[in-house]
């Protein structure tokens, strides 16, 4: 049995690519048993996404993309258009607590596993459906890929050096947020099920997940009537806040209050009441002047001692690390953000780890309650035989009584 808060739950993951698999991986990290259902022969699309690929002891190449979003899962290959495949999937769904799918609208119905059929098969099942642009509406069912949605949902218009050069975020953030929002919905539905005995259909989309994190950029539109634009590495509402050049490189600072502005100016012998820069609204309105004001002060300093000086003065500051530096950073390691697993073909490999930690608290203090062992992403159909044997030997538990809805 897995360790973790969800160790008594079974998740059937029919999804592929990234949004759904990321949701399944998160639930697996939390202890759920996650069974990934894949197409025979090819498996999840991401098994072929690369380079980079890594050669395994079995002579096959393995996509590092697939490895990023499928830890703590078992794999079974099923042809869902065959009688056998549908029968095995039915057996899994009868026993499952959660189903994850990210097919285009209508595919599950054509396979014979629409929402109503699933609710009849297993009334306690929580069904998570992740689509590109939503399952309904004038563009419901439209295929959604991360970069297309980043553009359609406005994220690219506020990312990059300026309005004429929109940029995608460097990770598939629409997919990842779609998975995260899906998990939030699943956990809420599981909590509600404790009260009602019923599962729920939980729907989210890449579109809604990006719009849902517009934050203050969204209210600039809906309340202030502005249209935000990309402006590089500087904050649209706080100054100075961003990337600033120094003698041998650059540093990042966040002067997020007038108290910090006073402290910053005192540290570098600057006048905080410099005309036009005395308040945050003034500094934002004169961003170019503010940047020049700061960079003039930094021009005689090298980055490493400058960062030490900023931190000593209480000014939030940091450098820009490449990802190799990040995974070698002792702070990242201390947070459990790198995990070592034993892959069936690749042997011992390291993966980015889960972002959440749990602790028990008593009079003696805190004790971390961590999953002690993570499973490597599976090779295709690695657990197929074992899963079929488990289904044959495990009867379907009788459903708990379903509570009546309040009038």
Q: Which residues are catalytic?
A: 175
In 10 A of CB 12, how many CB atoms?
23
Residue 185's nearest CA partner among 154, 208, 217, 211 is 208
Helix/strand/coil for 216: helix
Tokens of 166: 């929109």
- Please give the Cα distance from 214 to 233 (Å, whole number): 17
DSSP strands (E only) in 113-185: 126-131
Distances (CA, A) of 287 to 187, 204, 217, 233, 367: 43, 38, 18, 12, 47
Tally of CB atoms within 10 A around 298: 19
First to last CA, the chain: 40
- HSE (CB half, 13 Å, CA atoms) of 386? 6
Compute the distance between CA of residue 113 and CA of residue 78 in angstroms, rounded to an integer. 14
Torsion sign (Cα): 328, 333, 335, 341: positive
């Amino acid at each position: 049995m897995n360790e973790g808060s969800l160790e008594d739950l079974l998740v059937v993951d029919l999804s592929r690519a990234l949004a759904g698999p990321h949701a399944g991986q998160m639930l697996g990290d939390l202890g759920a048993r996650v069974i990934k259902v894949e197409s025979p022969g090819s498996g999840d699309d991401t098994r072929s996404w690369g380079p980079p690929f890594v050669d395994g002891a079995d002579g096959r190449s393995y996509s590092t993309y697939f490895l990023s979003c499928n830890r703590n899962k078992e794999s079974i290959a099923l042809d869902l258009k065959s009688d056998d495949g549908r029968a095995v999937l039915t057996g899994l769904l009868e026993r499952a607590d959660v189903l994850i799918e990210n097919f285009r609208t209508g595919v599950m119905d054509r396979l014979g596993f629409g929402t109503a059929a699933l609710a009849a098969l297993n009334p306690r099942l929580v069904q998570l459906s992740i689509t590109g642009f939503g399952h309904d509406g004038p563009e419901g069912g439209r295929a959604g890929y991360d970069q297309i949605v980043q553009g359609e949902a406005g994220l690219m218009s506020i990312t990059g050096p300026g309005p004429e050069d929109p940029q995608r975020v460097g990770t598939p953030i629409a997919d990842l947020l779609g998975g995260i929002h899906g998990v939030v919905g699943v956990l809420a539905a599981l909590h509600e099920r404790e009260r009602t005995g019923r599962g729920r259909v939980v729907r989210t989309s890449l579109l809604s997940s990006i719009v849902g994190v517009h934050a203050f950029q969204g209210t600039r539109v809906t309340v202030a009537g502005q249209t935000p634009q990309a402006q590089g590495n500087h904050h649209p509402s706080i100054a100075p806040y961003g990337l600033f050049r120094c003698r041998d490189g650059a540093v990042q600072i966040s002067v997020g209050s007038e108290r910090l502005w006073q402290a910053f100016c005192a540290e570098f012998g600057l006048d905080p009441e410099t005309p036009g820069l005395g308040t945050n609204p003034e500094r934002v309105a004169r961003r170019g002047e503010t940047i020049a004001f700061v960079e003039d002060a930094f021009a005689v300093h090298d980055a490493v001692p400058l960062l030490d000086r900023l931190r000593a003065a209480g000014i939030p500051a940091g450098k820009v690390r490449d990802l190799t530096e990040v995974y070698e950073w002792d702070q990242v390691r201390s947070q459990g953000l790198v995990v070592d697993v034993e892959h069936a073909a690749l042997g011992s490999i390291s993966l980015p780890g889960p972002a959440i930690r749990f602790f028990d608290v008593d009079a003696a203090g805190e004790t971390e309650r961590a999953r002690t062992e993570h499973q490597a992403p599976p090779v295709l159909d690695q657990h197929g035989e074992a899963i079929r044997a488990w289904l044959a030997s495990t009867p379907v538990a009788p459903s708990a009584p379903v509570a009546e809805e309040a009038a």
